[in-house]
Amino acid sequence: MSAFGFGGTNAHVVVEEAPARPAGGGAGEGTALPVVLSAASPTALAATRRTLAAWLDGAGRDAALADIAHTLATGRKAMRHRWAAFVRSRADLLRTLAQETPDAAATGPLGDFLAGRPADWASVFDGLGARRIRLPTYRFDRRRCWPAERRQPAPAVETLRLSARIANDLDRPLYAEAGE
């Protein structure tokens, strides 16, 4: 790429293809990994579980379990309503996503997450070679943000009176012209 400026300034950049991304963490299958989800409301949390399950059956069928767990734990903001489980395989994850409260007696980082405390995810994913991947985005609740009642517009008569007053002021001169 080249760019030429008006004052004789020139800039040149050589661009090449980005290096291939390393393979994800394949060590997740068979290892119990925490899968965490959170949302602003119970409805959004249920929708997030359904969306993740659909993604696992579709576009995410080749994603490594360690990468999925790592991204959900470290790449998302923890919100008020939380869901968490330890899973050992993708089939286990799909089965667990169908449950509303899969792991109530969680301890360690998973228990911290469910209790609303900061969790030490580095200790969980250290050595697995897990990386962040693209996952389905957060599901927002649909809610109405308009006022409940409509205000009545000003009566047409008042609007006409105001218009007439403005028109009268515009039609008459406010200052005497020179020589009058």
pLDDT of residue 22: 60
How far the first Cα of the chain sits from its last, in Å, is: 70
All residues at 6 or more sequence positions from 110 whose CB lies less than 8 Å from its CB, including other chains: 34, 36, 84, 86, 103, 119
CA distances from 5 to 10, 11, 46, 70, 130 (A): 6, 8, 55, 46, 45
Can you list the domains of the chain with their CATH numbers? 32-125 (3.30.70.3290)
Cβ 71 vs Cβ 133: under 8 Å? yes
- Three-state SS for 108? helix
What is the chain's pLDDT, residue by residue, as a tens digit (180 residues)? 777 777 777 887 888 876 765 655 555 567 788 889 999 888 898 999 999 999 999 888 888 899 999 999 888 888 888 888 888 888 889 998 888 776 556 778 888 888 888 888 888 888 888 888 888 887 777 777 777 777 766 566 666 666 666 666 666 666 666 765
Token pair in block for residue 127: 């050595």
Instruction: Give the Cα separation of 31 and 109 in Å (integer).
Output: 16
Which amino acid, 24? G
pLDDT of residue 55: 92
Token pair in block for residue 50: 């359904």
Instruction: Give the Cα separation of 101 and 27 in Å (integer).
Output: 26
pLDDT of residue 53: 92
Token pair in block for residue 6: 């008006």
Query: Which residue's entry shows tokens 């286990």?
Result: 92
User: Would you say the pTM of this structure is higher than 0.85?
Assistant: no
Count the neighbouring beta carbons within 10 Å of the beta carbon of residue 145: 4
Which amino acid, 122? A
